[in-house]
Amino acid sequence: QKEVEQNSGPLSVPEGAIASLNCTYSDRVSQSFFWYRQYSGKSPELIMSIYSNGDKEDGRFTAQLNKASQYVSLLIRDSQPSDSATYLCAVRINSGGSNYKLTFGKGTLLTVNP
Amino acid sequence: DTEVTQTPKHLVMGMTNKKSLKCEQHMGHRAMYWYKQKAKKPPELMFVYSYEKLSINESVPSRFSPECPNSSLLNLHLHALQPEDSALYLCASSQGLAGGLAKNIQYFGAGTRLSVL
C-alpha cells in the first residue's frame, strides 16, 4: 500500500509566526508532490507543486522536498488568520502501466491565532 | 484560467431517485477525475478518464456510473444511492495523465454536496 502520512494536528500558531507542515510518503519512485489548501466546506486549492529536491518559494509559501528521506514540507511565513485551513499533502503515484493517481494524506488542520 | 465548473452545488435525493452530477472544463485538459470526500477526510479517488476513456475505476459500486461525452464534460450518474453515499463530490482535471510533470497538476471544481435521504 503506497501511503502518504501527515500529522493531523491541529497545529496552532500565532499570527506572524512560521507554520511548518510535514509529510512523508512510502513510494520511493514518486516524482510529483503537491500541497493543497482546503477551507472548511470548500474544495481543495493548489498552493504549491514541487518535483526536484530542495526548496521552492512562492510568496509566503516554501515547499521543501527531500527524496532520499521521502519527505516533503510546507512552510508558511508571516502566518495570517486567513491561512487557517486544512492542508493536504498529495503525491502522484503510479497505479499500474501508464496510469497515475494522486494519493492524499489525511491533512493537517492549521489554526492561526490573531 | 483554471476553472472547473460543477453543477449542481447542492443535491438532495431519495434512495430511489436517479440524478446526475455534471462537470465541465474548457482548459483543453484531457484527464478528468471524480473524487468523493467525507467530512474531515481526504478526497478519495473514484474514477479517472483519459482522452474520454475510463482509465481508472477504484472499485466503485455500480450505483455510481461515470460518463465522459466529450473532452470538456464529465458526468456522474447516480441511482439507488444509500445514506452513507452522502458526501462532497469533487471533479478535477489535468492536462494529461502521464508524461511531463506540470501536466499532472489537478485543478478542482467547487464540488457538489450530496445528501441521500
pLDDT digits (tens, 9 = 90+) for B93-103: 999 876 667 77
So what's the pLDDT on residue B96? Answer: 81
Measured between beta carbons, the chain B residues lying within 8 angstroms of A45 are 108
CB-based contact, B109 to chain A, within 8 Å: yes
Asked if B98 lies within 8 A of A95 by C-beta distance, the reply is no
**Residue A9 pLDDT level (bands cut at 50, 70, 90):** confident
Interchain CB contact of B25 with A (< 8 Å): no
Instruction: Look at residue A1 in the predicted model and tell me its pLDDT.
Output: 66
pLDDT given at position A86? 97
Distances, alpha carbon B18 to alpha carbons B21, B24, B62, B111, in Å: 10, 20, 13, 19
Gap from A105 CA to chain B (nearest CA, Å): 7
pLDDT (tens digit per residue) in A10-64 = 999 999 999 999 999 998 888 899 999 999 999 999 999 999 999 999 999 999 9
Confidence of residue B13 (pLDDT cuts 50, 70, 90): very high
Q: What share of chain B is helix, strand, coil (3-state, %, to 5)?
A: 5, 55, 40
- The alpha carbon of residue A39 is apart from the nearest alpha carbon of chain B, in Å, by 11
Q: What share of chain A is helix, strand, coil (3-state, %, to 5)?
A: 5, 60, 40
Q: What is the pLDDT of residues B45-92, one digit of tens each?
A: 999 999 999 998 999 999 999 999 999 999 999 999 999 999 999 999
Kindly tell me if the per-residue pLDDT of A2 is higher than 70.
no
Please give the C-alpha separations between residue A47 and each of A21, A93, B69, in angstroms, as whole numbers.
13, 19, 31
Task: Say if B21 is an interface residue toward chain A (CB within 8 Å).
Answer: no
- Asked if the C-beta of B26 comes within 8 angstroms of chain A's C-beta atoms, the answer is no
Per the CB < 8 Å rule, is A102 touching B45? yes
pLDDT by residue (tens digit) across A74-93?
A: 999 999 999 999 999 999 98
